[in-house]
């Protein structure tokens, strides 16, 4: 049985990450540092749950930016991008990278969400179904946008600073929708009340993936 090429690219990314642990270490350090700063900043003050919901997604956004910025940079630095171009199509590379980013972001988001709920007493989720659906759909949307943006900035001189600058305006609609759905989960709303937000999140991911598949071939072969 022949293993699908996108899956082979995904496995390569996972093996490379466990060998270098760059993204994992960067994500872990950023998450721990950020959550610690949030806890000390809040102190004993009572903060509205709307603000706490926004802070959660700010932590997730910047954590993702710190870990995913080198998705394609490592290929350029090691010279393996040429090998990938010779061995497979741009679409296969994108799908493999996208799947890896989805797994990485979802693992990170789940960890942040658990830690955030554990250490911040005022953040009480009353509708877990809305909350975790938002985490999953938001994570997929983050991965979809981050993958193509990482490919675009891979050849730029200012890779580290350019990635979050480009990502923020693209991801702003996604983040605002995730914050709104998270607020509903804290308020204990019915699942149906968040259905419109979920439609927006799914639509964002579908449009971003479809556009990325088209654009990525030109970016990758440039």
- The model's pTM: 0.88
Q: Which of 33-42, 53-62, 93-102 shows the lowest mean pLDDT across its residues?
A: 33-42
Cβ neighbors of 29 (< 8 A, separation 6 or more) are none
* Residue where the block lists tokens 């971003």: 208
With cut-offs at 50, 70 and 90, classify the pLDDT of residue 106: very high
> Do 138 and 60 form a contact (C-beta atoms < 8 A)?
yes
pLDDT at 129: 94
With cut-offs at 50, 70 and 90, classify the pLDDT of residue 77: low
pLDDT at 209 over 90: yes
> Do 59 and 105 form a contact (C-beta atoms < 8 A)?
no
pLDDT at 63 over 60: yes
Domains of the chain by residue range:
5-220
Q: What is the secondary structure of 12-57 as a DSSP string? A: HHHHHHHHH-HHHHHHHHHHHHHHHHHHHHHTT----HHHHHHHHH
Identify the DSSP state of 126.
S
pLDDT mean over 125-153: 91
> Do 53 and 134 form a contact (C-beta atoms < 8 A)?
no
H helix intervals, the chain: 5-20, 22-42, 49-68, 73-78, 80-87, 90-119, 128-153, 159-187, 195-220
Mean pLDDT of the chain: 83
**% of residues, the chain, pLDDT over 70:** 84
């Amino acid at each position: 049985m022949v293993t699908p090429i996108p899956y082979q690219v995904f496995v390569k990314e996972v093996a490379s990450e466990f060998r270098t642990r760059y993204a994992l270490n960067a994500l872990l350090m950023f998450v721990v540092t950020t959550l610690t700063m949030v806890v000390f900043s809040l102190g004993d003050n009572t903060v509205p749950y709307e603000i706490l919901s926004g802070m959660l997604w700010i932590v997730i956004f910047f954590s993702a930016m710190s870990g995913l910025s080198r998705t394609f940079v490592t290929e350029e630095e090691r010279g393996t991008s040429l090998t990938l171009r010779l061995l497979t199509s741009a679409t296969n590379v994108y799908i493999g990278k996208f799947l890896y980013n989805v797994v990485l972001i979802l693992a990170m988001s789940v960890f942040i969400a658990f830690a955030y709920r554990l250490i911040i007493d005022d953040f009480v989720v009353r509708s877990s179904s809305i909350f975790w659906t938002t985490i999953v759909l938001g994570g997929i949307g983050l991965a979809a946008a981050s993958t193509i943006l990482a490919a675009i900035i891979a050849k730029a001189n200012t890779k580290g600073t350019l990635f979050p600058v480009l990502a923020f305006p693209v991801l702003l609609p996604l983040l605002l929708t995730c914050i709104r759905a998270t607020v509903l989960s804290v308020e204990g709303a019915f699942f149906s009340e968040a259905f419109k937000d979920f439609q927006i999140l799914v639509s964002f991911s579908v449009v971003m993936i479809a556009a990325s598949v088209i654009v990525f071939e030109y970016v990758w072969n440039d």
